[in-house]
Structure 1
Amino acid sequence: MQIVTSKEMQQLDQYTIETIGMKEELLMENAGRAAADEIHKMHSEAHTAVIFAGKGNNGGDGFVIGRNLSSLGWNVSVYLLAAEDALSGGALYHKNLYCACGLPMTAGTGIPEPDSPEEGVIYIDAMLGTGIHGELKEPFYSTARWLNSVKAPVTAVDIPTGVPANEEELPETAVMADTTVVLEAPTLSTYLYPARHYYGEIRTVSIGVPRISWETLNQKRQTWEAGDAAKSLPERTQESHKGDNGKGLLIAGAYNMPGAPAIASNACLRSGIGLLTTSVPESALTAVASHVLEATYFPLAETKNGQVADLQHTPFPWASMDGVAAGSGLGRTDSTKVLTRRLLTETQIPLVLDADGLYFLPELEEEMTNRESPLILTPHPGEMGRLTGLSPKEINAERFTVSRNYAREFGCYVVLKGPNTIITTPEGRQYVSTSGSSALAKGGSGDALTGIVLAMMLQAPTVEQGVCNAVYIHGLAAEMATAEGASDYSFTASNLIDYLPKAIAFIQSQKK
Structure 2
Amino acid sequence: MMGGDKMQVVTPKEMNQIDNLAISDASVPGVILMENAANAVTNIVLKKLSTNDPVIVIIAGSGNNGGDGFAIARQLASIGINVQLFFVGKEENLTGDARTNWEIIRKRDDITIHKEINDFSNIKNLTTQADVIIDALLGTGLTGEPREPHKTSIEIVNEAKIDQNIVISVDIPSGVNGHTGAVESVAIDADITITFALPKVGLLLYPAKSYVGKLYVAPIGIPEWVTNSVTSDYRFLTMETISSLIPKRKGDSFKGDFGKSLIIAGSKNMLGAGVLTAHGVLMSGSGLTTLAVPESEVQTVQSKLTEEVMTLGLPSDNGKITEIDEVIVKSYDVIAIGPGLGQHKGTKKVVKSVLKNSTKPLVLDADALNVLQDESELLAITEAEKVVTPHIGEFSRLTGYTIEEIKYNSFELALKFACDWNSVVVLKGSPTIITTPEKELYINNTGNPGMATGGCGDVLTGVITSLIGQGLSVKKASILGVYLHGLAGDLAKESLGVYGMKAGDLVNNLSKGLCYLQEYKSSKKRRGRIKCLQEI
Q: TM-score, normalised by structure 1?
A: 0.94
After superposition, where does 1:364-443 map in structure 2 within 5 Å? Answer: 364-443=375-454
Q: 1:224-258: CA deviations, max 9, x gaps?
A: 12222211102211111111111111100002111
Alignment of 1:110-509 (within 5 A): 110=118, 112=120, 113-114=122-123, 115-116=125-126, 118=128, 121-150=131-160, 151=162, 152-167=165-180, 169-290=182-303, 291-303=305-317, 305-309=318-322, 311=323, 314-459=325-470, 461-484=472-495, 486-509=496-519
Q: Distance in 1 between matches of 2:471 and 2:280?
A: 17
2:67 corresponds in structure 1 to: 60
Deviation at 1:63, TM superposition (A): 1.0
The residue type equivalent to 2:422 in the other structure is G
Q: CA deviation at 1:72?
A: 4.3
Paired position in structure 2 for 1:90: 97
Partners of 1:111 and 1:92 in 2: how far apart?
Answer: 25
**SS state of the match for residue 448, structure 1?**
helix
Deviates more, 1:252-261 or 1:68-77: 68-77
After TM superposition, give the deviation of residue 11 of structure 1 in Å.
Answer: 1.2
Deviates most, 287-296 or 472-481: 287-296
Distance in 2 between residues matched to 1:233 and 1:375, nearest whole Å = 20
Amino acid at match of 1:300: L
CA distance in 2, matches of 1:168, 1:355: 28
Range with greater deviation from structure 2 (376-385 or 199-208) = 199-208
Task: State the 1:461 CA deviation.
Answer: 4.2
Per mean C-alpha deviation after superposition, the further-off stretch among 248-257 and 369-378 is 369-378
In structure 1, the partner of 2:18 is 12
Q: State the distance in 1 between where 2:423 and 2:395 align.
A: 13
CA distance in 1, matches of 2:444, 2:182: 23
In structure 2, how many angstroms separate the alpha carbons of the residues matched to 1:315 and 1:407? Answer: 27
CA distance in 1 between partners of 2:297 and 2:97 (Å): 68
Contact kept? 1:225, 1:435, Cα under 8 Å: no
Question: 1:60·1:95 contact (CA, 8 Å) conserved in 2?
Answer: yes
Report Cα offsets for 1:278-310 as digits up to 9, x if no partner: 11111221222222311222211223x33333x
Question: Deviation at 1:101?
Answer: 4.0
* 1:449–1:109 CA distance, 2 compared to 1 (3 A): same
Give the match for residue 29 of structure 1. 35
Partner Cα distance (1:99, 1:155) in 2: 23
SS in 1 for 2:73: helix
CA separation in 1, counterparts of 2:401 and 2:298?
Answer: 37
User: Which residue identity is paired with 2:312?
Assistant: F
Aligned equivalents of 1:107, 1:73: Cα separation in 2 = 22
Match of 2:193, as an amino acid? T
110-119 or 191-200, which deviates more? 110-119
Structure 1: runs of 5 or more not aligned:
none
Going from structure 1 to structure 2, the CA distance change for 1:394 and 1:363 (only over 3 Å counts) comes to closer
Preserved CA contact (<8 Å) 1:160 1:177: yes
Q: Is the 8 A contact 1:82 1:108 kept in 2?
A: no
Task: Quickly say closer, same or farther: Cα 1:324–1:66, change in 2 above 3 A.
Answer: same
Structure-2 change in CA distance of 1:43 and 1:469 (3 Å): farther
Secondary structure of the residue that 1:116 maps to in structure 2? helix
Matched-pair contact (CA < 8 Å) for 2:181–2:203: no
Q: Following superposition, which runs of at least 4 residues in structure 1 exceed 4 angstroms of deviation?
A: none
Contact kept in structure 2, 1:248 and 1:455, CA below 8 Å: yes
Shift of 1:119: 5.0
Instruction: Please give the alpha-carbon distance, in whole angstroms, between the structure 1 residues aligned to 2:112 and 2:394.
Output: 55
Following superposition, the deviation at residue 469 of structure 1 comes to 0.9
Listed as ranges, the gaps of 5+ residues in structure 2 are 1-6, 525-536
CA contact (8 A) 1:111 1:142 kept: no
3-state secondary structure, aligned to 1:507: helix
Identity of aligned residues (%): 35
Q: Is the 8 A contact 1:282 1:299 kept in 2?
A: yes
Bigger mean CA offset, 273-282 vs 66-75:
66-75
Given that residues 32 and 61 in structure 1 are in contact (C-alpha distance below 8 angstroms), is that contact kept between their aligned partners in structure 2? yes
Task: Tell me the distance in 2 between the aligned counterparts of 1:417 and 1:7.
Answer: 27
Q: For residue 4 of structure 2, what is the aligned residue in structure 1?
A: none
Cα RMSD of the aligned pairs, angstroms, is 1.9
User: Does the 8 A contact of 1:377 with 1:414 survive in 2?
Assistant: yes
Query: Is this contact kept in 2: 1:277–1:295, CA < 8 A?
Result: yes
Structure 2 CA distance, aligned partners of 1:190 and 1:41?
23
Q: TM-score, normalised by structure 2?
A: 0.90
1:457: Cα distance to partner?
Answer: 2.4
Preserved CA contact (<8 Å) 2:321 2:341: no
Please report how far the alpha carbon of residue 37 of structure 1 lies from its aligned counterpart in structure 2 after TM superposition. 1.1
